[in-house]
């Protein structure tokens, strides 16, 4: 599945409700999911971590859809490596 395919799937499933909730409300749900991911990464099983990563990705593409942004296009920012130093792997200092 491509990033665009996933974004269309999430739109088909949730967009009407998420759009009605608006950007601010949807962002609050997204941040709650990020918190759940934090807990899963700290002390969850691999299955719990995978589930929370999927949830965060779904809410992230929902935010993009509400904003009218195609995530596959946005992800191209990293197509040539690090956006700052343009290297793979990145050679920027940790403090950059």
* pLDDT above 90 (res 95): no
> 22-48, pLDDT tens digit by residue?
999 999 999 999 999 999 999 999 999
Establish how many alpha carbons lie within 13 A of residue 92's alpha carbon, considering only the half-sphere containing its beta carbon: 11
Tell if the pTM clears 0.95, that is, is over it. no
* pLDDT above 60 (res 96): no
Distance CA 54, CA 31 (A): 14
Q: How confident is the model at residue 58 (pLDDT cuts 50, 70, 90)?
A: very high
What domains sit in the chain, N to C, each tagged with a CATH number? 3-78 (1.10.287.1080)
pLDDT of residue 94: 74
């Amino acid at each position: 599945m491509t990033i665009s395919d996933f974004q269309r799937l999430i739109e088909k499933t949730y967009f009407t409700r998420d759009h009605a909730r608006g950007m601010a409300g949807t962002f609050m749900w997204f941040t709650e999911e990020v918190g759940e991911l934090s807990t899963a990464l700290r002390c969850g099983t691999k299955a719990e971590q995978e589930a929370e990563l999927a949830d965060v990705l779904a809410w992230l593409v929902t935010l993009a859809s509400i904003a009218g942004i195609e995530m596959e296009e946005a992800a191209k920012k990293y197509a040539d490596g690090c956006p700052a130093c343009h290297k793979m792997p990145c050679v920027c200092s940790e403090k950059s």
